[in-house]
A and B are shown apart, each in its own frame.
Chain A
């Protein structure tokens, strides 16, 4: 097959932020009709590069050309003009608008100069949808569509603006495995019709499955560009991290002992007051990891909040360590030995403006040795901070810098260090590695297995099926507020779990 023409080229892009060289003389090109994956850890410079291409950042040096013509991009408007469309990880859609309204937003077609011409938009969207087999109904209300379809709306939006180059930023993060497969089919369909795609991700399997070429970035530089046939997961991971990485979690089989947590028919409401967890029951024994698999938004967040005392329970009971702890507030639950690694680390897990040392005693500050008779003991807090920073390898210049100055991985280590340092019988970890670099993920996975082997019970909630499968001894699948089924991890397959996550009934 002859080399196709280069449609988009970035040459020698450098972008300096205060203290960080985000892009260091980066070269990147995209050929006509190919899927070019951009792989790298958080902070590797992928997003900066894409924002340069899309006109959100102005590079300090370098040149972007489209179809061989150097272009100057000042704003997203220029890049749309140049035929570049971007689908962000978080959709830029208004839920109460119809699909057609969302698509015309910012590029409204008018009749008589001031009347919105909805009809022609609907017609055009139907055509596009048919042409690329996207199956998008222009008259549907966007907020009522499944996430996978909303993503297609974003794609149609870009195509509607005549984009010939699509940038997809972590598009599979919000999808089930099946939805991701559907997306890949669509991506192939698009490229066969002459659209070129930049696919940003940190998932190695996907890259190998779909990409024509893979460019790996690390520390603001391009490490190399390879073809999927010439590489494998281990090689890609090593390129991303800069050293050999152990991708599988090494663990012995579990030796579960007595029951630590028992949940019976628990019902929880979400923030709107609607019941979102409909009678969930399970139990976890000491020394085992129970993984809860499921697409985000199926009640996992609310379930965890109810278990940890942050959200009130409307029905059912829970026993923790032999005691009925239904509806108890966070403090007694923590004191009984529950560690909670929260889903949203910056919102619940840390006070960003407080120093690292204070964040390491965030829920133990009031008891000895940190607080005696209502007075904080700085020496004890200092000693604790230095010990945990050392033990958990938290990279921080000092215990007294605000925790917001730390990288995401190190912020998470602060939480893990704090939670695992007190008397723990049960760890509830909700998305413990989301958004972290490979090194930190490796570390946190190892810690969880070490705690399990010490006889601690672990409840792991994650949207990453790979993570669930790597760590769990048993896997419960949650769908629409219920546990569909629970299986032994050893016998579970990705495909089967994916089907259950999408709502298939276990007996079928």
Chain B
């Protein structure tokens, strides 16, 4: 277990390195780091009210959670209702179908394990997209960042011992594999960040383009230089990674792995970063009002680049964990759609890290349970895609849900995307 904790710390370390790298690269103005302490003009120490309620009381957290979860919850319920109608229309029994779905997702230890397996990349990638949203950026490129993260993790996993000429202990090999994978994602996402910050090129267009480049590079590598050379192999995939680069399952006999625990930890860390640190404050300020951020002395351009790098880091981590903890290799097409589902997950989770975890588990459960549903009722798994699309529709166009259930708008709104160069 220590191995995984260290592995995770290694990933964070390397990710931090990536961020520092970009900070140096992008930092034209003065840093936002610690400055000499300037006391308030009054000169007297600030009074500390004894009974002043602090910012996050238990009650306020619960209240805000219920408040912000209302629309997503109703969106899911409405989508499931409509999905049931669709199932009935095509001649199925919606109750049997949903029973199968729930059984397949939560009905047994194995079902729960598989739901966790599905949820893991969803959590990482969902966090990636959510962080970008917080910074006012729409990262559609999680898919490509994730694929390249997986490619690098696989390369380090199978090739590094050979290059070095000796076997690595797991305690070094695992952190290197996932850390460099995450770094690759960060680098890849930082490019559209740069283009956005310094040329005004819109990140929506550029991340889509970067997806094509990333997926074609991956395809080339899987079919060429990195193709598994074993004589029986006809699939575009890398060789299996070394034992020393593999993250173990949580329990013997189940596929759910330590990556799931890491995902939960990262969600907590991202929440802390966004809510409790000055860097998070800067990300949120740039995301909410870039003009005010500039006025407040924030280097807006650098913050945009760093936000994209952080987003890509998380997407890269999603890919690297899939390789080191689940598949033990990278295979062309394994990750198809994680990066895109992540957009729906981030929106459903209202870009709140804990909301993302819940949404990711929900999506994971639906994907996982769909197989059993199909097996039991002959209803095609595509119904699940319809339900997920409906959820996304209702969350993105929350006016529909607010209209149906007569809920007033309140709180922070997610900025999906701004105008060109905005």
Contact = CB atoms under 8 A, between A and B. Distances in A.
Contact of A349 (B276, B292, B411): B292
B401 to A, nearest CB: 19
B296 A373 contact: no
A383 B49 contact: yes
A310 interface: yes
Given A351-B292, A352-B289, A334 B297 contact: yes
A422 B48 contact: no
A148 B411 CA distance: 41
Contacts of B199: none
Given A374-B277, A386-B52, A421-B40, A348 B30 contact: no
Contact of A376 (B40, B276, B295, B298): B276
Q: Is the interface on chain A under 10, 10 to 19, 20 to 34, or 35 or more residues? A: 35 or more
A363 B296 contact: yes
Contacts of B32: 331, 366
Interface residues of B, number: 41
Nearest to B299: A329
Contacts of B52: 382-383, 386
Interface stretch (B162-170, B251-259, B278-286): B278-286
Interface in B26-55: 29-30, 32-35, 37-38, 40-42, 46-49, 52, 54-55
A422 B296 CA distance: 13
A379 B47 CA distance: 10
Contacts, number: 123
Given A375-B276, A383-B46, A363 B297 contact: yes
Contacts of A380: 46
A400 interface: yes
Contacts of B411: 353, 402
B49 A310 contact: no
B290 to A, nearest CB: 10
A374 B48 contact: no
A156 B30 CA distance: 54
B382 interface: no
B49 A375 contact: no
A340 B295 contact: yes
B291 interface: yes
Interface string A395-433: 000001010000000000000000011111000000000
B47 A367 contact: no
A349 B291 CA distance: 9
Contacts of A332: 30
Given A347-B292, A349-B292, A387 B47 contact: yes
B295 A310 contact: yes
A421 B280 CA distance: 24
A424 B32 CA distance: 21
A335 B35 contact: yes
Count chain B CB atoms within 10 A of each CB in A310, A353, A366, A422 and give the residue with the most: A366
A228 interface: no
Contacts of A330: 294-297
B288 interface: yes
A371 interface: yes
A362 interface: yes
B46 A384 contact: yes
A332 B47 CA distance: 28
B412 A421 contact: no
Given A310-B295, A387-B47, A362 B285 contact: yes
A467 interface: no
B40 A358 contact: no
A165 B404 CA distance: 42
B54 A378 contact: yes
B413 interface: yes
A313 to B, nearest CB: 15
B298 to A, nearest CB: 8
Given A331-B297, A348-B295, A362-B285, A400 B55 contact: yes
A342 B295 contact: yes
A379 B297 contact: no
B28 to A, nearest CB: 9
A355 to B, nearest CB: 9
Interface in B246-279: 276-279
Contacts of B297: 329-331, 334, 363
A366 B282 CA distance: 9
Contact of B47 (A308, A340, A358, A383): A383
A367 B281 contact: no
A378 B279 contact: no
A272 to B, nearest CB: 14
B281 A365 contact: yes
B292 A373 contact: no
A348 B278 contact: no
Contacts of B37: 367-368
A406 to B, nearest CB: 15
B37 to A, nearest CB: 4
A329 B35 contact: no
A451 to B, nearest CB: 10
Nearest to A382: B52
Which of A362, A375, A383, A387 has the most chain B CB atoms inside 10 A of its CB? Answer: A362
Nearest to B56: A378
A15 B240 CA distance: 72
A349 B295 contact: yes
B413 A353 contact: yes
B54 to A, nearest CB: 6
A353 B281 contact: no
A459 to B, nearest CB: 16
Nearest to B272: A375
A351 B55 CA distance: 18
Interface string A322-336: 000000011110110
Given A348-B292, A384-B40, 13 more contacts: A308-B295, A310-B294, A329-B30, A331-B32, A331-B298, A347-B289, A349-B292, A354-B284, A357-B55, A362-B296, A376-B277, A381-B55, A421-B42
Interface of A: 308, 310, 329-332, 334-335, 340, 342, 347-354, 357-358, 362-363, 365-369, 371, 373-376, 378-384, 386-387, 400, 402, 420-424
13 contacts: A329-B29, A330-B295, A332-B30, A351-B285, A351-B289, A354-B288, A374-B279, A376-B276, A376-B277, A378-B54, A379-B48, A421-B41, A424-B41
